[in-house]
Structure 1
Amino acid sequence: MKLQPDQSDVQTIRAHGPGWVAVGSEKITHNVIIGSRGQQLAWAGGFDDLGPEHFAQLADMKVEVVIFGSGSRIRFPKPAWVAPLMAARIGIETMDTAAACRTYNILAQEGRDVAVALLL
């Protein structure tokens, strides 16, 4: 699906499909964290590989909210995994990856300090 956001100075996801997202002119095919301040970091290997350390990496970003794109279907992280975010008072929302891309773009374009963690 191609997304057509309004012109914006923040990093947005311009398109996505099964196993990939496009940020600017770059097509990303690995699990990734994308932040509205321009951050772009490789992330976990897959849902079964996740643990508290992956969500601690997100907590270290000190954003307002994290959008967790859990793949093609919604899979909620275990409470122990998100404990670092709760301790840092950072909100987390879980949704499938396509919805996470759209939600991230809306929040980023509103000027929110947000990150999206995507399992592709």
Structure 2
Amino acid sequence: MRLNEIVFTDASPIESYGPGFFRVGGAVIEGPMITSPNGTQPWAGYEDTESLLALAGKVDVIFLGTGADVAHLPDVLQSQLDDAGVGVEAMASPAACRTYNILLSEGRRIALAALPV
């Protein structure tokens, strides 16, 4: 069987996650985080709309991990993202991490903002 190495874009894949943390590109991020082709950094959560809006035009969709369980985004956040033309898909953080990694491996223009499990 032939195995092909996955080549990611400039962004790093999610290597692992656990209670209160994410491991991205070898670095551990405690608490909520956002990762995109611009890098990985801590994220202040739903109130930090500026970090998400800054991705307008740079990514096609942001996967928003809502923690251990899927939850609806706050209406204000959803409205701001819609008004800016930023596509967002909310899902539980484990599913968001998996989906992000798959689409990243395809070279898609994506970002992930996630609350820890």
TM normalised by structure 1 equals 0.79
Q: Does 1:113 pair with 2:109?
A: yes
Partners of 1:42 and 1:28 in 2: CA distance: 7
Structure label with greater radius of gyration: 2
Partners of 1:100 and 1:9 in 2: CA distance: 17
Deviations 1:13-32 (A, max 9, x none): 11122222111221222211
Q: Residues 68 and 94 of structure 2 are in contact (CA less than 8 Å); yes or no, is this contact kept in structure 1?
A: yes
Deviations 1:42-82 (A, max 9, x none): 2125xxxx33xx23421211221010101111111122212
1:20 maps to a residue whose letter is F
**Cα offset, 1:113, TM superposition:** 1.0
Q: Does 1:60 pair with 2:54?
A: yes
Q: Residues 29 and 41 of structure 2 are in contact (CA less than 8 Å); yes or no, is this contact kept in structure 1?
A: no
How many residue pairs get aligned? The number is 108
Partners of 2:63 and 2:38 in 1: CA distance: 16
Partners of 2:68 and 2:8 in 1: CA distance: 29
Q: Which has the higher helix share?
A: 1
**Cα offset, 1:9, TM superposition:** 3.3
2:40 corresponding residue in structure 1 = 40
Percentage of identical aligned residues: 33
Partners of 1:77 and 1:32 in 2: CA distance: 16
1:29 corresponding residue in structure 2 = 30
2:17 corresponding residue in structure 1 = 16
Segments of structure 1 that go 5 or more residues without pairing to the other structure are 1-5
1:83 corresponding residue in structure 2 = 79
Aligned-pair Cα RMSD in Å: 1.6
Name the SS for the 1:89 alignment partner. coil
**Cα offset, 1:119, TM superposition:** 0.6
1:34 maps to a residue whose letter is T
Segments of structure 2 that go 5 or more residues without pairing to the other structure are none
1:105 maps to a residue whose letter is N
Q: Residues 69 and 98 of structure 1 are in contact (CA less than 8 Å); yes or no, is this contact kept in structure 2?
A: yes
